[in-house]
Structure 1
């Protein structure tokens, strides 16, 4: 039986809501101009674990972040990624009911992963592979090879679902079947074809 390997952000979860981004941007007065550029500028380094939360958020805000303030910003960041895509979650629940194995492979820093792991809608999906714990990020080939090795399955027995085309292409190069996530309706049809 094939295993469905989900990405998290913009697949299982909804994108960050504008009000959540605004809340993060306004946490430090004066940080609003260019906040989103700085948020994404070194995010992959944060996802990989090359930057710890203090270094990442100090870069984003342009001032040292530590202590309670850092904890609050991390909590806001986790909250911004905690809104489920209910239509995808419905598919996850359907797959769980018929016994389809599922796993997660996400670019995500450890501090965010710790919050995401506690969300009720994540229960059917496991094991979970987070870039911050692996020291690797998508679309690097190694992250797919390590995930396949840990799961102990043939690459072709994994169906990888991601919203980013570069990650889909990398998964295919690693031998996985891959689906470009556009919306839940299209995913349901794609999975019907790939899972048989």
Structure 2
């Protein structure tokens, strides 16, 4: 894979570079919380957008507990928080290897993730972000995908035009918005398909 034009490739993190939290991790959070899965996870996701945009963890989990009609002790909250953060830090080796190959070939890489401050803080010190020249987290910007404003912010910060930018994400709504802005976007399903797409784009 060689680069025959200048291009910046922007990667999403969750379920592109990272693995989705597995059943063991989810079961641990359910056990600590004492809340059935069918109640806990809708509450978890209903408040996640604000958490991703900068809401502090204690307030996020207070809101989740309120939706679940329960309360948690400080110890429970700490264990739930730790289990949740840890569940998002496991990465897909094939995706990481592809990113390393792109970096070796001189492709400019950036990260754009909907991530709360707790996960963003861990990722900033993570070995997997070393190939990236820029890291963008929704918690810092106060915006989250698929809001067009977050894409415009990133393009401005990178001084990259949409036509010079490739975006990779696993969520269709995020891809749709990127394409509407003129970004060459790829809906991620697996690393082999992504590598084929990038080979076609980058040469």
Assess same fold via TM > 0.5.
yes
Q: Give yes or no for the alignment of 1:182 onto 2:189.
A: yes
1:2-24 superposed Cα distances (whole Å, 9 cap, x missing partner):
01100000000011111111111
Aligned length: 195
For 2:20, which of 15, 22, 36 is the aligned residue?
15
For 1:166, which of 170, 173, 180 is the aligned residue?
173
Alpha carbons 1:26, 1:32 under 8 Å: kept: no
Whole-angstrom distance in 1 between the partners of 2:16 and 2:131: 15
Q: Which runs of 5+ in 2 are unaligned?
A: 1-5
For 1:4, the equivalent position in structure 2 comes to 9
Q: Which structure has the higher relative contact order (CA within 8 Å, separation 6+)?
A: 2
For 1:41, the equivalent position in structure 2 comes to 46
For 1:193, the equivalent position in structure 2 comes to 200
For 2:119, which of 109, 112, 125 is the aligned residue?
112
Instruction: Using the TM superposition, give the Cα deviation of residue 68 of structure 1 relative to its aligned residue in structure 2, in angstroms.
Output: 5.3
- TM-score, normalised to structure 1's length? 0.92
Instruction: Using the TM superposition, give the Cα deviation of residue 34 of structure 1 relative to its aligned residue in structure 2, in angstroms.
Output: 1.4
Q: CA RMSD in A?
A: 1.7
For 1:145, which of 141, 147, 152 is the aligned residue?
152
